[in-house]
Structure 1
Amino acid sequence: MHAALAFLLLFFGGTLVPVNRQFRQTPGGILVFVVSNGFHTDLVLPLRETRTGTDWLRQLAQPTLTTQFAAHEYAAFGWGSEQFYVESYGGNFPKVGTILRSVLPDRTLMHVDFYRQAPRPGKKVVALRISTAQYQRLANLIRQSFQPDSLGPTVLRNAAGYTSEDFFFRARGRYHALRTCNDWTTRVLRKTGVRTALKAPLAGSVLWQARRAR
């Protein structure tokens, strides 16, 4: 009983405990975004970042995507359960059984969505300006989340995702109750040096600490 209570306090109470509380935004720095749909969080980065020489279309190494999205300006990256993502196709909410099974380890996917322009800051969008060194760390951590194979640095799972502008790639790592999609966002931001929660199982936890970083 006591162990279960301690677990719940850490799991949800960790939201209130900041990590990297000394983080300050960089004036004139690179603009990135934390975006939520209410349940899940993505990191939105410039599709091409000149100061660091980062080009995500080149990193993804998918010629069809390079041609299709050359005029877009931003890309969103999210990590999560393969089964949960796949059962969300067509605007469907995953079945109860899928949600319950999410406490067990599952294979993972990277979800990549292309934006024509930067998202507008609001209730579910937090803008952050970070240094070039922080951006390079952030980009490397995202890049390392993709599962490569012998043919290239990324493996495209489907020809399309929820819309004509988003796609799923094979990812590293296993999804389970203690490592959720929002934990991935938190972990990547924390290793980048951005202020985050100690534990952020919910999207609101991620956004709350990101706003305090402003």
Structure 2
Amino acid sequence: MTAKIVLGYILKTIGVILGIVVFYIILGLVLPLIEVSAEDDGQPKDIPIYIYTNGVHTDIVMPVKNDLQDWGAKVPFSNTKSKSTDYHYIGIGWGDKGFYLDTPTWADLKASTALKAAFWLSDSAMHCTYYKTMREGEDCKMIMISRDQYKNLVKFVEDKFDRDQNGNFMVIPTNAVYDVNDAFYDAKGTYSFLYTCNTWANDALKAAGQKAALWTPSDFGIFRHYK
């Protein structure tokens, strides 16, 4: 095989990779523009939830406790550094375990972590963060939902947690938490460039019958529907 043929194969491979990247970027910009409309189940919308982004990850924030669900019993306060029990909201997000635990900032991102996350090669985790109050802004939007919609949301979120033989959520022992009020848990599924943390959050909104993007890999794709 001549050097010219080898070079041709290399250029073709690079061209295919660049084509996939460009196509992905186009889909990531266009498909979030297509809105999945909210469903009106005819019930009073009296349960507040929030979508909250840190600029990268979107979390679904819910009341810690009401008559339908007690998150404090399933995601114990004792698993946080503060161990405080006076929180009123819990934010839950799903994502790549390597990103969550090994990449506290973009400056810490390793090529190996990114490649594993992009191509279904690593485990996933649930990031659970307690809050005392929530304040609406560009990065945080409140949504009022019905009781049945909340039940569907709770089921969607719970189904993503891995469980031990007793049915309990499995906390990940780590010091790589972001603050004194959060903890990580083992999760089901595998992160990829086709199914990101924001794709999961977008699907959570669909499960709750709320507005969402047709598909999105980014937090922008979610929040553009809640301006």
Corresponding residue of 2:207 = 191
User: 156-165 or 199-208: which moved more?
Assistant: 156-165
Corresponding residue of 2:172 = 157
Deviation at 1:19, TM superposition (A): 0.9
Alignment check: 8 A CA contact 1:103 1:176 kept: yes
Deviation at 1:151, TM superposition (A): 3.6
Could you state the TM-score of these two structures normalised by the residue count of structure 1?
0.85
Corresponding residue of 1:166 = 182
Matched, 1:48 2:65: yes
Matched, 1:30 2:44: no
1: CA distance, partners of 2:106 / 2:179: 10
Corresponding residue of 1:107 = 123
- Post-superposition CA distance 1:110-167 (Å, at most 9, x none): 00001112x1000100110000000010011111110001143200002552211100
Amino acid of the structure 2 residue aligned with 1:30: I
Q: How does 1:116-155 map to 2 (within 5 A)?
A: 116-117=132-133, 119-155=134-170
Corresponding residue of 1:58 = 73
Identity of aligned residues (%): 26
Root-mean-square deviation (CA), in Å? Answer: 2.7
Deviation at 1:109, TM superposition (A): 0.2
Structure 2 gaps, min length 5: 1-15
- Structure 1 pair 13–57 and aligned structure 2 pair: CA distance change class (3 A): same
- Structure 1 pair 172–72 and aligned structure 2 pair: CA distance change class (3 A): same
Deviation at 1:41, TM superposition (A): 0.5
Structure 1 gaps, min length 5: none
Alignment check: 8 A CA contact 2:150 2:208 kept: yes
Corresponding residue of 2:31 = 14
Corresponding residue of 2:193 = 177
Matched, 1:208 2:224: yes
1: CA distance, partners of 2:131 / 2:85: 11
Count of equivalent residues: 206
Greater Cα radius of gyration, structure 1 or 2: 2
- Structure 1 pair 101–28 and aligned structure 2 pair: CA distance change class (3 A): closer
- Structure 1 pair 158–13 and aligned structure 2 pair: CA distance change class (3 A): same
Amino acid of the structure 1 residue aligned with 2:91: A
- Post-superposition CA distance 1:6-38 (Å, at most 9, x none): 654433311100112555997651000000111
- Post-superposition CA distance 1:55-84 (Å, at most 9, x none): 001123x47249924221000000000011
Corresponding residue of 1:85 = 100
Could you state the TM-score of these two structures normalised by the residue count of structure 2?
0.81
User: 27-36 or 63-72: which moved more?
Assistant: 63-72
1: CA distance, partners of 2:23 / 2:110: 29
1: CA distance, partners of 2:49 / 2:129: 14
